[in-house]
Amino acid sequence: MQTNTVSRAERAVRLTGVALVLILTALCIGGLICWSTVTKNGIIENTSLPISAQFGTRRLLAASDGGDGYVHIGGTPIGISICADGLIVMGECGVQTEGGVVHPLAGADVRKGDILTAVNGTRVRSVYQLKVLVDNGDGEALTLTLKRGGEAYEAKATPATDINGGLKKLGLMLKEDIGGVGTLTFVTEGGRYAALGHYITDADTGLGGELDNGKIYPTEVDGVIRGERGKAGGLIADVNRLSKSVGDICANTLIGLYGNYSAPPQGEMYRVARKGEAKPGAAKLYTTIDGDAPAFYDIEIVKVVSQNEVGEKGMVILVRDKQLLAKTGGIVQGMSGSPIVQNGSLIGAVTHVFLQDPTRGYAVHSRFMYDYAVGGTSFAPESVQYGEAA
């Protein structure tokens, strides 16, 4: 009986010890699970929710100090008016006078793509101003100051009096700016914007780097020309340059337009992804295909290039969304700059569409755009283009 009693006591002690070990082990595992859950939820909240309600203004203002950057996402269409440092020469023409057609610039080496900056030393900024300067002159030869390839030169021209209207003319075809439609990518808390995601060049003259100032305007998408194999589609929108602008164009770079944004930003706040965060797989495109209200559409990141140097072709994307495909055929011109979101972070922006497959295109890493927006580093344009600018 005594032996049995001791045996029962030993078993009870052993069982108690095992129970304690199991309880402690369960507590440890429970603690690890709770810690892991809190950490994971923290990551999700930091990347997917509007952070204005989470971190407050102080955190946002500190975003450019080497920590994560946060921006108001764009996705809205913008009208673009970008200018050179003067009037862009489109060509030379004759003036119909009483004595016949006269070419005031005959013999002068003035070419398409040159930039007229001054007349007799007076800066010219508009075609109207030039007309007034020429018509109010005494009819003597004028000294024109022009730029070509960044180098200034002078040409002489004697205005001729047009038989139709009696105005003195130089026989120059000119334009003040280059117009178009693109998409706003984001606005920083400091009021700097990024848009388009690629460089702007003038198809008529080949000018690019000379186009370095202008305005952006609010606009609405009135319709869409569907993209087809071998032919890029496009958004249809009117740009009213007499309306109030929402920003100044201060830089025309390899990875888009940048400047000061003067309107209240409308988009929610998103974290800008760091290097290595963008991955092949599902993502969302935020763009506008009707009116001025952007929406999210399903896309796939087909390829990611881990770039150390700035480039506007850091990702290959594929449109998967049935609604977007039905409406646009894929990526169309005017979508350039449309933000791309993956796992709650802003990872990039659309830049180009593949002409032979409008469902595919290129995108730029948003971290490059953010660095420029907050730091203003200068980038030179690439000489080789792939695809068609979207």
Distance CA 188, CA 61 (A): 9
Is 292 assigned a catalytic role?
A: no
Chain segment 30-47, per-residue pLDDT in tens: 332 222 222 222 222 211
User: Is residue 212's pLDDT more than 70?
Assistant: yes
336, 338, 345, 366: the catalytic one is 336
2 pLDDT exceeds 80?
no
Supply the pLDDT for residue 317. 98
The reported pTM is: 0.78
Tell me: domain 60-83+178-389, CATH 3.40.120.10, correct? no
Q: Does residue 12 have a pLDDT over 70? A: no
pLDDT in tens, 76-92: 999 999 999 999 999 99
Catalytic residue among 248, 290, 321, 371: 321
Residue whose C-alpha is closest to residue 323's, from 299, 354, 300, 352: 299
Cα–Cα separations (whole angstroms), residue 179 to 7, 133, 213: 95, 26, 12
Q: Which is more confident, 20 or 184? A: 184
Asked whether the predicted pLDDT for residue 126 surpasses 70, the reply is yes
Using alpha carbons, select from 110, 201, 190 the residue that is nearest to residue 157.
110
Q: In the annotation, is 352 catalytic?
A: no
3-state SS, one letter per residue, for the chain = CHHHHHHHHHHHHHHHHHHHHHHHHHHHHHHHHHHHHHHHHHHHHHHHCCHHHCCHHHHHHCCCCCCCCEEEECCCEEEEEEEECEEEEEEECCEEECCEEECCCCCCCCCCCCEEEEECCEECCCHHHHHHHHHCCCCCCEEEEEEECCEEEEEEECCEECCCCCCEECCEEEECCEEEEEEEEEEECCCEEEECCCCCCCCCCCCCCCCCEEEEEECCEEEEECCECCECCEEEECCCCCCCCCEEECEEECCEEEEEECCCCCCCEEEECCCCCCCCEEEEEEECCCECCCEEEEEEEEEECCCCCCCCCCEEEEECCHHHHHHHCCCCECCCCCEEEECCEEEEEEEEEECCEEEEEEEEEHHHHHHHHHHCCCCCCCCCCCCEEC
Length of the chain equals 390
- 198 in catalytic set: yes
**Weakest-pLDDT range from 23-27, 136-140, 282-286, 339-343:** 23-27
Residue 231 has, within 13 A of its CA and on its CB side, a CA count of 6
Specify the residue for token string 């004595």.
99
CATH 2.30.42.10 residue ranges in the chain?
Answer: 87-175
How much is the pLDDT for 43?
23
Task: Give the rounded percent of residues in the chain with a pLDDT score beyond 90.
Answer: 70
Residue 309 has a pLDDT of 85
pLDDT for 163 beyond 50: yes
The rounded distance, in Å, linking the Cα atoms of 202 and 260 is: 23
pLDDT digits (tens, 9 = 90+) for 129-158: 999 999 888 888 999 999 999 899 999 999
As a whole number, mean pLDDT of residues 277-294 equals: 96
Residue 260 has pLDDT above 80, yes or no: yes
Selected catalytic residue, list 64, 68, 114, 198: 198
pLDDT at 274 > cutoff 80: yes
User: What pLDDT does residue 381 have?
Assistant: 53
Question: 199, exposed or middle or buried, with CB in 10 Å at 0-12, 13-18, 19+?
Answer: buried
CA dihedral sign of residues 130, 134, 137, 140? positive
pLDDT mean across residues, the chain: 82
Percentage with pLDDT > 70 across the chain: 79
Per-residue model confidence (pLDDT) at position 65: 31
Per residue in 291-318, pLDDT (tens digit) is 999 999 999 999 999 888 888 899 999 9
pLDDT digit string (tens) for 231-256? 999 999 988 888 899 999 999 999 99
CATH number of this structure's domain 87-175, picked from the four choices 2.30.42.10, 3.30.420.40, 3.40.50.300, 1.10.150.120: 2.30.42.10
> Where in the chain do CATH 2.40.10.120 domains reside?
60-83+178-389
CA nearest to 361, candidates 324, 20, 166, 60? 324
Amino acid 378: pLDDT: 53
